[in-house]
């Protein structure tokens, strides 16, 4: 029976199954993501060495358009540097030091809340008392708001609050639930802070750890630590 070798990795607690074995695409992703009976992960990333591309799947098996934390893990695992990647029309540059470079997000709505496209979609909301924010209730609430705007409801929700010289952030990811960190979420939120306050270096602290975003003229750089948790094998079909 064929076995599929994989690495379990994380960036600030946002965890992933990462492999370059294309056989993984025929496996039941939702079953593998189960934390009690499977490997357990927020997303699965399959790297195709031949065509130098990455496919990303959420824990529920749905396809994701981007995932900076997962991609920084791929770059570390395969020692990719100045690696140019195209994902759904968005150009990224990956490095093994945990940095991901991307063009600025596109702001599609900015009123009482912001809605941005950075490969995947994000709602960004400033809150008070972030620790007591009910993300499930807020996610449902903004689902209704977004529907009235006729925008894509497959978004991630980010809530943030300034504390001293950094920002606390929490993210509820579509197809996953609340995660310990979200690379595209911190980037989308950083861009809104930059637009409002002209801050160009922004430090975030999520439940999983620290992410630094640097905003440049027409691109941004997201940097966080990527780590290997363990290597394993799955029985293929």
pLDDT tens digits, 139-163:
999 999 999 999 999 999 999 999 9
Running DSSP on this structure, what letter comes out for residue 108? E
Q: Could you tell me the CATH number of the domain that includes residue 125?
A: 3.10.310.10
| Domain ranges, residue 204 | 102-223
Q: pLDDT value at position 236?
A: 63
> Looking at the 3D structure of the chain, how many domains does it have?
2
Q: State the pTM of this model.
A: 0.96
DSSP 30-44: HHHH-TTTS---SEE
Taking 50 as the pLDDT cut, the residues of the chain under it are none
* Structural domain includes residue 46: yes
Residues 111 and 197 in one domain: yes
And the tokens for 30?
């939702």
* Distance, CA of 104 to CA of 180 (rounded, Å): 23
Residues 106 and 219 in one domain: yes
Distances (CA, A) of 221 to 27, 92, 149: 33, 10, 30
Q: pLDDT value at position 34?
A: 97
Running DSSP on this structure, what letter comes out for residue 80? -
H or E element in which residue 125 lies: strand 121-126
Q: pLDDT value at position 2?
A: 85
Residues 108 and 218 in one domain: yes
Residues 122 and 159 in one domain: yes
Residues 53 and 8 in one domain: yes
Helix (H, G, I), strand (E, B) or coil at 5: strand
């Amino acid at each position: 029976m064929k076995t599929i070798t994989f690495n379990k990795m994380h960036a600030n607690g946002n965890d992933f199954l990462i492999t370059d074995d294309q056989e993984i695409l025929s496996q039941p992703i939702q079953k593998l993501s189960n934390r009690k009976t499977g490997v357990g992960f927020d997303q699965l990333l399959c790297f195709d060495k031949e065509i130098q591309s990455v496919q990303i799947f959420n824990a529920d098996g749905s396809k994701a358009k981007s995932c900076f934390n997962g991609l920084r893990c791929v770059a570390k695992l395969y020692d990719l540097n100045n690696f140019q990647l195209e994902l759904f029309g968005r150009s990224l540059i990956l490095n093994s030091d945990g940095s991901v470079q991307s063009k600025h997000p596109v702001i599609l709505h900015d009123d009482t809340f912001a809605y941005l496209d950075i490969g995947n979609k994000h709602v960004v909301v400033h809150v008070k008392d972030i620790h007591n924010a009910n993300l499930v209730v807020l996610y449902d609430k903004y689902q209704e708001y977004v529907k009235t705007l006729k925008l894509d409801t497959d978004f991630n929700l980010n809530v943030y609050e300034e504390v001293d010289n950094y920002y606390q952030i929490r993210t509820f990811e579509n197809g996953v639930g609340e995660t310990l960190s979200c690379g595209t979420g911190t980037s989308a939120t950083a861009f809104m802070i930059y637009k409002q306050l002209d801050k160009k270096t922004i430090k975030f602290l999520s439940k999983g750890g620290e992410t630094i975003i640097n905003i440049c003229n027409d691109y941004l750089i997201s940097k966080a630590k990527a780590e290997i948790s363990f290597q394993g094998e799955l029985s293929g079909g």
